[in-house]
Copies of this chain bind each other. A is one copy, B any other.
Amino acid sequence: MVTHEWSFGPPAVLAFAGGVGGAKLALGFSLCLSPDDLVICVNTGDDETFHGLHVSPDLDTMMYTLSGLYNQETGWGLAGDTFTALEMLGKFGVDAWFNLGDRDFATHIRRTQLLTEGKTLSEVTAELNRSLGVFHGIIPMSDDPVKTVLTTDEGELPMQRYFVGHRAEPKVSEVRYVGVETAAASPGLQDALTRAGMLVLCPSNPYLSLGPILALPGVRQRMRAFSGKKVCVSPIVGGEAVTGPAGKIMVELGKQVSCVEVARGYRDICDVFVMDDQDQALASEIEEMGIIPLVTSTIMNSEEDKIALAGEILALAD
């Protein structure tokens, strides 16, 4: 929750993100900006109830990344986590297909407890993050349930069931955000849309990560009307997704796997499109859409990479 006035100086950034890719750039911003100057709005369309516990995979990936507790090998989960509780749940006949570590379970236990006590997901997210020493604002896109469901050749699959349970293998023909029509943007998102100086779509999956956020009533309209700079960072580099199934889904939905296709989807909410050096030849196509291309290195392996990309984006501020 944004509780302070924006300070002068760097632009106040409202970043939109999903999982691992988005978290990398968000980490870069968090290392460049004070907590007052950054709000990270995170997808909750793949939140799930596992074993009666409320799991928010993208909120947790963001929290673990910014707290430094994340597993740098996988990008998700906690470094050095063990899987003892899950193994025991298996003994109880539970279908434990979704990997939840012992430390990770603590997050879900605590979140569920606080939600059951009547707190909103926004309030719970703020409390969990503060406890882990994360003071940059990580906020859920909504406090209401929205469920990303994929129509596939193996039936209707909620996002995590598709992504983890079926290892993103089924062929996708449609992506729906169930409940989004009646969900409200979270108070923090509504507030940040008013206060921000710059909007950034992080390099996250357009269908599974940013799609649910943009489908929230009023959000895309407010982004269109937003007067500050709007920057999108392509999750597609060199004709494939940097991480995750975005490229595969684009193929299945009959689209070209190209950063141009990503830009086309964001045309109404994008002033500057950040694309990788590998795609330099496509910059003219971006320009033809009336979008300014920024060709640079977008692959973020090291902390320096993340800070560098965040810095380049911040330099775009009006």
Chain A residues in the interface with B (C-beta under 8 A): 51-53, 78, 81-82, 84-89, 91-94, 101-103, 105-107, 109-110, 112-113, 116, 128, 131-132
Contact = CB atoms under 8 A, between A and B. Distances in A.
A19 to B, nearest CB: 21
22 contacts: A51-B109, A51-B113, A52-B113, A52-B116, A53-B109, A82-B82, A84-B106, A85-B85, A85-B103, A85-B109, A87-B103, A87-B106, A88-B105, A88-B107, A92-B106, A92-B110, A92-B128, A92-B132, A93-B131, A102-B102, A105-B105, A105-B109
Contacts of A102: 82, 84-85, 88, 102, 105
Contacts of A81: 84
Nearest to A93: B131
B85 A105 contact: yes
A193 to B, nearest CB: 29
Interface centre among A87, A92, A109, A113 (most CB of B within 10 A): A109
Contacts of A86: 106
A60 B93 CA distance: 17
A88 B87 CA distance: 18
Nearest to A105: B85
Contacts of A88: 78, 102-103, 105-107
B89 A106 contact: yes
A86 B107 CA distance: 10
Nearest to A133: B91
Contacts of A116: 52
Contacts of A103: 84-85, 87-88
Contact of A51 (B91, B110, B131, B132): B110
A305 B253 CA distance: 69
Contacts of A128: 92
Nearest to A86: B106
Interface centre among A78, A103, A107, A116 (most CB of B within 10 A): A103
